[in-house]
Amino acid sequence: MSLLENKVAFVSGGGSGIGRAVAEAYAREGAKVVISDINVEHGEETVKVIKDSGGEAFFVKGDSSSASDNKRMVEVTVSKYGRLDIACNNAGMGGPAKPTGEYEPDAWDRVIALNLSGVFYACRYQLEQMEKNGGGSIVNIASIHGQVAAPLSPAYTASKHGVVGLTKNIAAEYAQKNIRCNAVGPGYIEAALLKDNLNNDAMNAIASKAPMNRLGTAEEIAELVTFLSSEKSSFTTGSYIIADGGYTAV
């Protein structure tokens, strides 16, 4: 039997990068997957990739920084597949590169709205539904910058530290209700968020900071997320697990 057989899973930001890899991994393991993204074309593309390989998936457009959209995304999931067992709250953005003393308050608000408030809104409504189901597993995508600084990205660092704290709170509050909540901290991954913001030299320089001397892949993060979403990790909650090629070890 596959790891996520008969489970209903939700992934935000599933149109690209880590979110798409997680959605594909969930589907491969037998889950019915609801994919949300603000980008309709990319989200629908992920659904097509999954369906073409025999999986079950459905797209719902949503802005993860909106509380009402997060509420609606849970409602759509339940009306389509009847329940919600697994959620990967992945949608996120980097924001501009500026030192804290020059960082525009508007940019701060946008990054926090998606990366931190968005994860709270998602969990808020997912938890309500998972309680009705009798359990569930949430995996929030943080970053290594949930633990160490990302100089010139103060809002990103603050948002990801916040996600780690929120994850621990949820784990403590819902452990008795059969709901687990964990955070994953990817190191530098070859995905749009990085490619759009850095040139090749900068990407190589970052890769060389990790003992493995390479960037990670979205699929490597998806494997960890799938493990944390499944019963294989049944005693793991409130954890923040880093996958970074050793970047934060040195």
Ligand X SMILES: NC(=O)c1ccc[n+]([C@@H]2O[C@H](COP(=O)([O-])OP(=O)(O)OC[C@H]3O[C@@H](n4cnc5c(N)ncnc54)[C@H](O)[C@@H]3O)[C@@H](O)[C@H]2O)c1
- Give the catalytic positions in this structure: 156
Give the span between the Cα atoms of 168 and 155, in whole angstroms. Answer: 20
**Residue 42 is encoded by which pair of tokens?**
């990319």
Out of 4, 10, 13, 210, the only residue in the binding site for ligand X (CB under 6 A) is 13
Strand order in the sheet with 240-243: 56-61, 32-37, 8-12, 86-89, 136-141, 179-186, 240-243
Out of 191, 207, 222, 224, the only residue in the binding site for ligand X (CB under 6 A) is 191
Number of residues that bind ligand X (CB under 6 A): 29
**Residue 16 is encoded by which pair of tokens?**
């690209």
Nearest to ligand X of 133, 168 (CB atom): 168
Contact at 8 Å (CB) between 228 and 241?
Answer: yes
The nearest distance, CB 38 to ligand X, in angstroms, is 4
Give the span between the Cα atoms of 222 and 206, in whole angstroms. Answer: 21
The nearest distance, CB 218 to ligand X, in angstroms, is 6
The nearest distance, CB 108 to ligand X, in angstroms, is 15
Give the span between the Cα atoms of 142 and 162, in whole angstroms. Answer: 9
Nearest to ligand X of 107, 192 (CB atom): 192
Give the span between the Cα atoms of 178 and 173, in whole angstroms. Answer: 10
Out of 25, 114, 155, 242, the only residue in the binding site for ligand X (CB under 6 A) is 114
The nearest distance, CB 195 to ligand X, in angstroms, is 8
| 17-28 and 218-229 helices, crossing angle to 10° | 50
Nearest to ligand X of 164, 191 (CB atom): 191
Name the one range near ligand X by CB under 6 A: 10-18, 73-81, 104-112, 197-205.
10-18
Out of 148, 194, 198, 203, the only residue in the binding site for ligand X (CB under 6 A) is 194
DSSP string of 70-122? HHHHHHHHHHHHS---EEEE----------GGG--HHHHHHHHIIIIIHHHHH
Contacts of 116 (CB under 8 A, 6+ apart): 158, 159, 162, 163, 166
Nearest to ligand X of 153, 234 (CB atom): 153
Site string for ligand X, 17-56 (x = CB under 6 A): xxx-----------------xxx--x--------------
Site string for ligand X, 64-103 (x = CB under 6 A): xx------------------------xxxx----------
Nearest to 71 by CA among 123, 117, 7: 123
Name the one range near ligand X by CB under 6 A: 128-136, 169-177, 189-197, 233-241.
189-197
Sites of contact with ligand X (CB under 6 A)? 12-13, 15-19, 37-39, 42, 62-65, 90-93, 114, 141, 143, 186, 188-189, 191-194
